[in-house]
Structures are given as structure tokens and as C-alpha cells.
Structure 1
Amino acid sequence: MTNAKIALVTGASSGIGEATAQRLAAVGYKVYGTSRRGHQPAKQSFEMLTLDVTNDASVTAAVGEVIQREDRIDLLVNNAGFGVAPAGAEESSIEQARKIFETNFFGLVRMTRAVLPQMRRQGSGRIINIGSVLGFLPMPYGALYAATKHAVEGYSESLDHELRTRGIRVSIIEPAYTKTPFDSNFMEPDDKLEDYREARAGVSRRINEVMATAESPDVVAEAVLDAANAAHPKIRYAAGKLANRLRLLRRFAPAGLVDAGIRKDLRLDARPTSASSRPARAF
């Protein structure tokens, strides 16, 4: 392992992060996973560190510890994040909007800024950001999460242009629905309105239907490995069959057709049975 590449994977206690850390370790990377608790599961193939991506000091300490131990970081996988349970955009407060951006976007920026000085000294490195198909598609009743993933897309593509001549490349992994405990960490909207109740419930039902046949996080981990090991990495990697289909649709299908397909799939054009003339709070 003395010549192993060093990988740092955030949000590695479960789901996509854990699968990615295990896959990288299996092919010879020395992997440091992170979570807010830093719990080390039994028989894990990688070491866990405590790291809160929303805290500057925590990020600095964890990255500094890896550099102190290994004197390099070859790969950063920014995976840590969470979502909001299906809700209308106006059902989440500004405070909730700030909270999800603090983790899903600014946490990624903190981690990137922390590893880049070391990668620039090395003259090499890979940064792989776990995005989503919602980085290029809208998600009605998931606007805040989709907004964070759109931000990840723009940041990553711009950053890749800045760093290529320094031997550092940036890629985005774009999964669709993935079978993970992700929804167990959903933040409930804090300003629910009766006007959105039926649509909110309908979108939740549809998501549950699709999740029943969702792909394994191993599919995403394999895409991360492809991006990490590619001699000439792409900026975007669709992870899984559905993600690939959606990427092709977005690229080649008329915008009106894509728009109509989203509305039909989520049954958004059904008339509500109890719409009120003015918003009423649901308690």
C-alpha cells in the first residue's frame, strides 16, 4: 500500500459514499471516509474520520490530518449531502434553503478549497462531485435540492477549466434514483400550505414507486471509479440506465417534450380536489 493513491470521500457512513469508499479500497486506493460522527464500522475496508462539511475548522482539521499522514491527496469525492422531503418551493423557509445549500454546495466548496493547495503542490489530482440528474433537469416539489445540484454542475464545470493546466481534473457524477438511506435524512418543510397538500402527497407516492426499482449505490461507485482512473476524464458521467436515458433525452429531445414528460410522470396537471382561494397553513 505504500504506493497507493490517497482518496478522501465525504459522507461515507452509508449509501453512495460508503459504496464508493469500498469500491476504491477494493482496487488499491488508500481511502479515508468521513462523516459527522466518524464512526468506524466493523470490518470496514477504509478508515473513517470525523468531519462536518459545514464547519470550516472541521474541514481544515480533517484534510490536514490526511495530508500529515500521507503527504498527498490524489482524489477527493464530494458526496456529503441531504434533501428536503417533497414540498412546494414556498413551503420551505429561507433558513431551510440556507441549510441545504450549506451542506450540498458550500460544503463541497469548502472541501475543494481545502484540498486544492496540496493538489497544486503535487501538480496532480482528481475532484469528483456527486451531482444528480436534477443538476440538468427540474424537480417540481424538490426545487431546493435541484437548485443545489444545478449549482454543483456550474461550479464543477468552471473549476475544471481553471485547473486542467495544473494537472487537476474535475468530474460530476449524475445518478438518478438510487437505493440508499438518503430519504431517512430528509428535512421536512417547515412552512406547509394546504394548497400543496395533494400535489405534495402525489409526488411522494410517485417517488416511492420509482424507488422500489431504483439501482444500487454500487452503480454510482463504479462511475466514480471510471472518472477517477480515466486517462482523459469526462466532465460528466451519468450513473445507471435511467440517468443515461434522461441525459440523452435532455440533450436531444425537444424542450416541450421533456417538459410534458416530467409533468405527466409526476401527474402535475391533475386538478386539485380541494384548492382554496387563499393559502392556509397546515398544522
Structure 2
Amino acid sequence: MNVECVITVADNKADKQANDVDNLLTQGVDVLVIAPHDATQAASMVDKAKAQGVPVISYDRLINSDKLDLYISHQVPIIGRKMAEYALKNVPEGNYVMVYGASTDNNAVIMKKEQLAILQPAVDSGKIKIVGEQFITDWKPELALNFVENALTQNRDDIKAVVVSNDGMAGGVISALDKKGLTGKVLVTGQDAQKDALQRIAEGKQTMTVYKPIVPLANAAVDAAIKLAKKQPLSDATPFKNETLGKEIPAILLEVQVVDKDNLLTTVIKDRYVSYDDVYANVPTDKRPPKP
């Protein structure tokens, strides 16, 4: 089947995304794949598409609509749990700060819920204390930086771990730590396995990230879109409950993997997601592991 893919970019603007969807529907697209900027506002886009008989896939981020034909993403609940489990294993005691993504993004809400579920027993026992937590508008690194700067000041720099929900914000958090001379002394999590985050991990500045292979996700979305266009069943989809709506929708959720300094070679580099030279670009040659 020949496939024509029309791509639009909303630039983090919900209104622009709505206009883009209107234009695509006017063009007569067979399937819409939406990575929503605002999960609630995007529901109206789904309504418009479904009114015209156009199937909709919610890509990476979940739209708050029970009319979706498919939600395709990585295992978001597991991402949240892996961050918190890693933090708790490596920093079992002390003050924690939680840096969540945008409150308008279901992924951020899901991750927060799962992170806190893992940490709560340690909070209840008094082993750890969450001294600050905040959703960050649009996942902006500079806002994460400001929030953590304030948290450090309020707690006299006594913070042992910052559970950060993505790599972009982790960069901002590390900038805040750097100003206090705390880089590498405070555990910092992340998500997305961005190149600069992998470099920070190699340097010892960021502790871990959650690797979400992008190519399999994109391929799965294309395969699903073709099936929907041909009115074929999505046999590999399973029910996923949208906690906000309290309803289940079909979903395909791909596996994720923790990446830290110990397994850079056997994960992202082995997969050729990034090169050895890129990851260790800021590490002195004599401090690098042998090149595979």
C-alpha cells in the first residue's frame, strides 16, 4: 500500500495544533495521528475527526477521549516506576525533590502517580522526605531550573535525589545543581535518552535516563495507521484504562529500558541509537571504556 504522510508541527501551541487538524481533515486524510500538546483540548480534535469518519491514533501522549481508535506509546506507568525504583535503590534515605512534566500532559500525570506509589512506603517509614514537588509548564528546562534552585535554597542544599520526568528538565536541574557545586553529588533521573543526557550520564552529571526506542514506536504507528485506513483489526492492541476518564481504550505500549553509566555500551550504543564517540565526547580518552 502506498502511503503519503503529511506532517505538521504545533510548536507547543494547542491552537495551532487545532488549526493543523482542521486543515488535514479538509485535505481528506484517511487517518489522523496526533501527539497532543494539551490532552484535554485535543479531545475536540478527535470529535471532529470521528464526525467525519476519520480514525484517530493518539501518539506518545494520551488524549482525554474515549473515541480514540488507538493509543500508541511506551509503557508510561513503567517509566514512572523505573525512575522511582532506581532512585530508591540508590538513595534509600534523605530529602527528595519531584519534578513532573506539564499538568496538561497525561503522561506527566501518570508518571507522577506511579512515582509516588513506589516512594510512598519509604515516605511513610520516614526514610525519605519529599521536600518539594511541582508540575512544570510545557516541560520547560528553565522552569525546572528555577524550581530546583528554590528547593535547594529552602532546604539549605540538603537534597539527595531529584526525580525528574524527562531529560530536557534534567538539564535544567543539573544547571541548578552546578551553581551550588552539587553536580554528580545528587541523583538525577530522566527520560528520553537524549544525546546530551547520555553525555551527562557518561560524565557523571546525570544518573540515569529511561530509553524509549523511537524507531519501533514510529513503525508501530505507521503499521496501525495503515490497518485503520484499510479497516483491518488491530490484533496487537490491548485495553488501557484512561484514569482521567475512567474508561478503557485500545493501546499498544512498547517496552522501555533504564540506562545509566554502567550499561551505555550495551543499550543505546549497541542499538546504534547514538555513537560511542558522541556519548563520550566530553570524557577524556583515558577515562572512557574500551570502544566496542
TM-score bin, normalised by smaller chain: 0.3 to 0.5
User: Whose helix fraction is larger, Structure 1's or Structure 2's?
Assistant: 1
TM-score of the two chains, using structure 1 as the length reference: 0.37
Higher relative contact order (CA 8 A, sep 6+): 1
User: Whose strand fraction is larger, Structure 1's or Structure 2's?
Assistant: 2
TM-score of the two chains, using structure 2 as the length reference: 0.36
